[in-house]
Structure 1
Amino acid sequence: MHKNNCRVCGYELAYPPWGDDGEDPSWEICPCCGTEFGYEDCTPVSAKRKREQWIAAGCPWFDRKKKSLDWDLKRQCEHIPEVFK
């Protein structure tokens, strides 16, 4: 159900950024889009707004070392939790 994926960009993390219950943010930063979990992705509207800003800026990676050589924005965005698309 994509509970380990960023609500903004779909990046798959090793942990659920909103906890196992989906309600307790980790306050960590997404290594891909730079979203602070619990601040910029609290609602579907705020997650969509952050995504639009990130894409308009050219999809810069927050931690460039984590970007895979075959990274594909469209493929990654397929993993955004449905309610946040």
Structure 2
Amino acid sequence: MHATEPASVPGPQCESACRVCGHDDDPEPFWEGGWPNEGAICPCCGNEPSMNDVSVIGLREKRGHWLGRGAPWDSPSSRPKDWDILEQVKHIPAEWR
């Protein structure tokens, strides 16, 4: 990188779906301006975006742990009555599956 080139940011400019479970119903994005929005906590799986979420292997481990526990909601009152886990995981960005 030359001194005149801007530093690259670690993530997407804006990402609204949780990389662990695919939950995509919060008004606040999980990634914003290329950085994790550490104030956003997924009400479904409880993941808090961080720089640890830039590894597909790490995300798969978190997802496997969450699914292995029966995919419990971190905030059960936020769970829709017609929640369908198979539909939700389709929202996980392709690069993080």
TM-score tier, shorter chain, comes to 0.7 to 0.9
Give % identity.
35
Larger strand proportion of the pair:
2
Give the CA deviation at 1:40. 5.0
* Per-residue Cα deviation, 1:57-83 (whole angstroms, up to 9, x for no partner): 010100011100000110000000001
Q: Is the 8 A contact 1:40 1:50 kept in 2?
A: no
- Provide the residue aligned with 1:7 in structure 2: 19
2:29 counterpart of 1:16 = yes
Question: SS of 2:95's equivalent?
Answer: helix
Question: SS of 1:54's equivalent?
Answer: helix
- Provide the residue aligned with 2:9 in structure 1: none
Larger Rg: 2
Instruction: In structure 2, give the amino acid aligned to 1:62.
Output: D
Greater RCO (CA < 8 Å, at least 6 residues apart)? 1
Question: SS of 1:15's equivalent?
Answer: coil
- Provide the residue aligned with 1:25 in structure 2: 36
Extract unaligned runs of 5+ from structure 1: none
Q: Which runs of 4+ in 1 moved over 2 A?
A: 39-42
Question: SS of 1:41's equivalent?
Answer: helix
Q: Is the 8 A contact 1:29 1:35 kept in 2?
A: yes
Extract unaligned runs of 5+ from structure 2: 1-13
TM-score with structure 2 setting the length: 0.77
Distance 1:40 1:72 in 2: 27
Q: CA RMSD in A?
A: 1.6
Q: Is the 8 A contact 1:9 1:77 kept in 2?
A: yes
Number of corresponding residues = 82
TM-score with structure 1 setting the length: 0.87
